[in-house]
Amino acid sequence: MLNRRKFLTLSTLTAPLALSGKSLLAEAASAFAGTSADKNAHPPLAPHPIAGPAMASENRPTVATVPIVVSTWDFGQAANAEAWKVLGAGGWSLDAVEAGVKIPEADPNINTVGYGGLPDRDGHVTLDACIMEGNGNCGSVAGMEHIMHAISVARKVMEKTPHVMLVGEGATQFALEQGFQKMNLLTPASEKAWKQWLKTSNYQPVMNIENKFSHNQPPMPGGPGNHDTIGMVAIDTQGRVSGACTTSGMAFKLHGRVGDSPIIGAGLFVDEEVGAATSTGVGEEVMRTVGSHLVVELMRQGRSPQEACEEAVKRIVKKGPERAKTLQVGYLAINRQGEIGAYALQKGFTYSVRTGSIDQVYPAPYYFR
């Protein structure tokens, strides 16, 4: 999640990247220089309240309509458009979320998901994904190589096996047995970025390192170059709730590292009686609090989606106040009525909404000012 669940030392949303050496990461630091936490540092994508810890719940944006699909980040808008082809025709939300997140999975210009994702420090592109429907059925893959559409393999795990998760070589073998095509996921652009990193191999976590390689997009918080894991949740015309989450993980991570994205209850949780939630940001922090499950359970207890997202973020702050200042986590949730909630630790998290009358990207409110 930010990026992915992302390596970080100091939030690029509040300070320049902290990294020594004449590497590409130093160039990234200069690109971020001057970024301000002031709410006027970049124009909002749409009218939306931006507030800190004291944000009044009555100011939160709501939609309260179905069908609806919401997803993380700016690139979620294109994913939502694909999902809407299913939802708008009266189709199943599970089919919608799978179709939606396959769009960024197949886009080589998105280096945080699927084909084109940045590799680990050994040069391996490894993918994580999970999918879940409201009755508790779910499937997941982690550390899978050579298969573009990790989300579709996760669905096959759910539908074709008695298991919930397959990992590593076992996940790849299963995918091939199910007819998926084996391919090289390391694009020339991502390989070039990895080889640049190898010049220093400075193994120091840096949040949003992927933004350095965002194909001529400025690495501004909330902008098209600031994307990460995609999480998507949807409700169809029959009230069925589903969700999907997919990522290529932290750039230049230790080989074998897995974040929250494929973990049911962390990166994604869906309960048809209540609603659904997904997350983005530093996956380790989300796993420590089982964040998406927490958001859904708070909604079950009567919290609105916005209130539940805020409480889940505050839980991270409470457990590690100083650590929380240096990283990003964001939550996105909907309840059965189609009300939306979104909240993050830091400025910069955006989410995309699609209904019969809305097709928009919004900046999420955040905790640290």
Q: What is the mean pLDDT of residues 49-56?
A: 34
CA distances from 97 to 44, 92, 212, 246, 296 (A): 26, 9, 28, 11, 18
Q: Which tokens belong to 60? A: 């939160």
Q: Where are the alpha helices (DSSP H) in the chain?
A: 24-32, 76-87, 93-105, 150-160, 168-177, 188-198, 283-289, 291-300, 305-319, 321-324
Q: To which H or E segment does residue 336 belong?
A: none
- The tens digit of pLDDT for each residue in 341-363 reads 999 999 989 999 999 999 999 99
CA pair distance 344, 350, nearest whole angstrom: 9
Report the percentage of the chain scoring pLDDT > 70: 76
Which spans in 280-339 are helix H? Answer: 283-289, 291-300, 305-319, 321-324
Percent helix, strand and coil across the chain, each to the nearest 5: 30, 20, 50
Reported as type and span, the H/E element at residue 340 is: strand 340-344
Q: Which residue has the tokens 């589903």?
A: 242
352 burial type by CB count under 10 A (0-12 exposed, 13-18 middle, 19+ buried): buried
Q: Which residues are known catalytic residues?
A: 229
Q: How far is CA 31 from CA 1, 21, 221, in A?
A: 21, 15, 12
**pLDDT at position 8:** 38
Q: CB atoms < 10 A from the CB of 255, how many?
A: 12
Q: Give the per-residue pLDDT at 62.
A: 59
CATH code of the domain occupying 64-363:
3.60.20.30
Decide: 68 and 78 in contact? Cβ < 8 Å.
no
Residue for token digits 């909404």?
A: 353
Q: Identify how many contiguous H helices and E strands the chain contains and give both numbers.
A: 10, 12
Report the pLDDT averaged over residues 179-197: 95
Task: List the Cα angle 281/286/289 in 5-degree steps.
Answer: 155
How would residue 228 be classed by pLDDT, with cut points 50, 70 and 90?
Answer: confident
Is 260 flagged in the annotation as binding?
yes
pLDDT digit string, tens, across residues 55-102: 333 344 556 788 999 999 999 999 999 999 999 999 999 999 999 999
Specify the pLDDT at position 59: 43
Q: Classify each residue of 54-65 as buried b or exposed e, where b means 16 or more C-beta atoms within 10 Å of its C-beta.
A: ebeeeebbebee
**257 annotated as ligand-binding:** yes
Res 43: pLDDT:
31
Tell me whether residue 280 is annotated as binding.
yes
Across the beta sheet with 165-167, the strand order is 165-167, 138-144, 127-133, 241-247, 230-235, 68-72, 350-354, 359-363
**Bridge-based pairing state of the strands 127-133 and 138-144:** antiparallel
| 359 carries a ligand binding annotation | no
Task: Please name which of 139, 191, 147 lies closest in space to residue 169, comparing C-alpha atoms.
Answer: 147
The structural domains of the chain, with segments of one domain joined by +, span 64-363
Q: What is the pLDDT of residue 218?
A: 52
CB-neighbour burial class of residue 269 (10 A; exposed 0-12, middle 13-18, buried 19+): buried
* 281 annotated to bind ligand: yes
241 annotated as ligand-binding: no
- Strands 230-235 and 268-271 turn out to be unpaired
Distance (Å, rounded) from C-alpha 118 to C-alpha 6? 11
Mean pLDDT, the chain, as a whole number? 82
